[in-house]
Structure 1
């Protein structure tokens, strides 16, 4: 028995399909469509996996985080000195890997500078590739360009992976001209001809920047070079068109995908389609395509149900939202932290604080561990409702947990206090944010400026605006630590 949405009014069960004993086990043999292109593998369990399931050993997680932080800082301090040339390789390499994994690009580049000074150092393209990918995720194209030059000075010839990482860095930083120029250079270098992965990354950059006019040209070039599209390429295009609500082009791309004969639609295609229609509130089309993909023999996974829950919640169709969750329970689709976050966010955005609190307590009683997304949704809802005492309570919970705070979380809580006119508290959080190595972004500063303006604090507004200008002027071109 499988979930079948027959029409836009009724959610009912049908026995016309056999439920698989597990979710779809199809594994892409190509690379994923979204950045970073080369996920850096770690021997330790990822934070994502730790956030799912029962709340186990939080002290152990916190201890690991503190050890990692201490290791990075210890090596970083040595990087500022010229006397450390014979350090233990494992200590330096582990600290570099940790800094890269945490996207702490400034620390990573300082440690890399120290690495290059060691008597045992041998330049490797893999190290440069990891650093370039990290710089791409952190939107640091100038640092990436300088790192590329240092790699050349180390006597290394760029590989296909290095060039593709550079394309990704330029593209996702909004420098599409540089990304295309790099692809042109690749075509003239032996053994570095762009492959389907390079072009998929380039297409992904175009979709993120809404430059859909460039996609046909890229596909034409791929055809000319006899580079066949992969499932990832098609899924990237479909997902981009769907998020831009270009539904005709999205459906045309699905037709091309099917007609290719080599890249049948998969669960990622499935999720992109129902997500596109569900996100814009077109529930009828969402349900239609839910049935269509099942007729193609593609089974939904947990993400599919999360999309349905979010879409029904946004449309205020709470009965259907509950029915999807009930179906997941009966059919042994284990809800993840993402599922819980979707429900909490849905009730929070609708102002239904009581239902949100009820589900949050239920989530904790079931042993599901809240993460920073959970707390962001709660803070946002409490802030809009003017429940500052609840915001204070969340802050205490966060301080007693092993949740690693990031810039979006601080933006959320600064906004909550700013809206309530708690300027002093907002300022304290801004200081705490910088102490936690969370760099304020444009959203942080815009939120604070808006709060200051509402209070008539003109001087504070001018100070922050000057800070923004100074930060833009001081964005240097020297590679940190090198």
Structure 2
């Protein structure tokens, strides 16, 4: 009964092409001259940009500073690059890549995309597989998944490498396009591309995000069949899929496998030891165990699923103090939380009967600037509690949602 409920804690709310044959980069030149983005991006000079640069002339006058002074997305980074070269300056491809990377970190995707487009239209720059993969990701963010898909299909065969394919797979997974992701995954396998851990992780992340936990072991089987070395995120997803169904014996077996992994390092050893404690005890008995829960605030997006896994285990163990501690750590992390994180903590507090904390989490989620409150996810959580016989908890949660002006019944109106 509980396993069916915990399964729901991982719910996130939210073409035919050429073969995949690696070749030389000569066939890219025609594509570089007639790139897809030329239909979208304009290089018209804007007087306002010139005035803005003049007003900021006292600031650092390097290429990066000029681009980052473009406050509005509608302003053109292309104009800045053209003007910089027109003044007799040189621009290296490594400099362009670094500026694009920093723009992406600042979520200035349109300007980052313009940087990569400028690289494409200047044939002196030879784009790498990673450059094309970045463009697919940026195109998804700026123009949408359809534009990214068309861009990918228009790439020459030699550019349809493991990196560009995985980038499109990532876009499909983010949009929860299961059929398209599975079709691309099969194409990649049939084309004998050298799949890596990241490719398989994308499929597992997708399955976890839509609640298809039962498909995760199938991806693991394929990963092993191809003799791909798993990374820490692979293990996190695999363990989390087992935790969702409270398959603790399988968790122990996976941890043992991790311990024998040829690339196991000190961080992995600590993770293995700590997780063994979480699985076998109702409280931590090792003083070092606090180090993971009180981890630094640089938690990555991929590591967040590990914390979901820990929250679920502690909910099963009835240890509210540790749940509180992990939730505090999650809220302090630099990375934004997903609906999955909120549903996970809500279901755990509900299962333990802590309605005050449930109310606080609802408020925190509604106030979040990075993840919109998902009424439909909460509705499914109400149904899940009712389905396993926890009708009182389901009713209490429903009442709280009504009091917070997020009644699931409004979805049907």
TM-score by length of 2: 0.51
Matched, 1:198 2:160: no
1:382-427 deviations in whole A, cap 9, x for unaligned? Answer: xx849x9xx9xxxxxxxxxxxxxxxxx9x839749xxxxxxxxxxx
Could you tell me which of 199, 216, 226 is aligned with 1:250? 216
SS at match of 2:160: coil
1:257-300 deviations in whole A, cap 9, x for unaligned? Answer: 11213x1334432221112232x3x22x1442332441462465
Shift of 1:206: 1.9
Pairs aligned (count): 301
Whole-angstrom distance in 2 between the partners of 1:139 and 1:345: 30
Report if the CA contact (8 A) 1:135-1:169 is conserved: no
Report if the CA contact (8 A) 2:120-2:127 is conserved: no
Q: Which has the higher contact order (CA 8 A, sep 6+)?
A: 2
Whole-angstrom distance in 1 between the partners of 2:136 and 2:277: 36
1:56-95 matches, within 5 Å, as 80-82=52-54, 93=64
1:124-139 matches, within 5 Å, as 124-130=92-98, 132=100
SS at match of 2:155: helix
Shift of 1:222: 2.9
Report if the CA contact (8 A) 2:172-2:181 is conserved: yes
Could you tell me which of 274, 281, 288 is aligned with 1:320? 281
Shift of 1:204: 2.1
Q: What's the counterpart of residue 162 of structure 1?
A: 131
Q: What's the counterpart of residue 197 of structure 2?
A: 231
- How well do the aligned residues superpose, as a CA RMSD in angstroms? 5.8
Whole-angstrom distance in 1 between the partners of 2:224 and 2:133: 28
Q: 1:181 to 1:301 in 2, by over 3 A?
A: farther
Report if the CA contact (8 A) 2:109-2:142 is conserved: yes
Q: 1:267 to 1:187 in 2, by over 3 A?
A: same
1:66-465 matches, within 5 Å, as 80-82=52-54, 93=64, 106=72, 117-118=83-84, 119-130=87-98, 132=100, 146-151=114-119, 159-160=127-128, 161-171=130-140, 175-187=144-156, 193-223=159-189, 225-261=191-227, 263-278=228-243, 280=244, 282-283=245-246, 285-295=247-257, 297-298=260-261, 300-302=268-270, 320-322=281-283, 325-327=284-286, 329=288, 334-335=291-292, 337-338=294-295, 355=321, 371=332, 385=356, 412=364, 415=367
SS at match of 2:285: helix
Which of the two has greater helix per residue? 2
Shift of 1:134: 5.8
Whole-angstrom distance in 1 between the partners of 2:231 and 2:220: 11
1:137-196 deviations in whole A, cap 9, x for unaligned? Answer: 6777665655555555666656133321111123456833222222223225xxx61322
Report if the CA contact (8 A) 2:200-2:219 is conserved: yes
Whole-angstrom distance in 2 between the partners of 1:292 and 1:150: 47
Whole-angstrom distance in 2 between the partners of 1:232 and 1:210: 17
SS at match of 1:275: helix
TM-score by length of 1: 0.45
Whole-angstrom distance in 2 between the partners of 1:268 and 1:225: 25
Whole-angstrom distance in 2 between the partners of 1:138 and 1:155: 28
Whole-angstrom distance in 2 between the partners of 1:228 and 1:348: 38
Q: 1:155 to 1:105 in 2, by over 3 A?
A: farther
Whole-angstrom distance in 2 between the partners of 1:414 and 1:248: 31
Report if the CA contact (8 A) 1:187-1:194 is conserved: yes
Q: 1:371 to 1:220 in 2, by over 3 A?
A: closer
Q: 1:116 to 1:455 in 2, by over 3 A?
A: same
Query: Structure 1: which 5+ residue stretches go unaligned?
Result: 1-7, 9-76, 313-318, 392-408, 417-438, 445-452, 457-482
Whole-angstrom distance in 2 between the partners of 1:291 and 1:259: 19
Whole-angstrom distance in 2 between the partners of 1:225 and 1:147: 31
Report if the CA contact (8 A) 1:139-1:172 is conserved: no
Whole-angstrom distance in 1 between the partners of 2:151 and 2:315: 43
Q: 1:306 to 1:356 in 2, by over 3 A?
A: closer
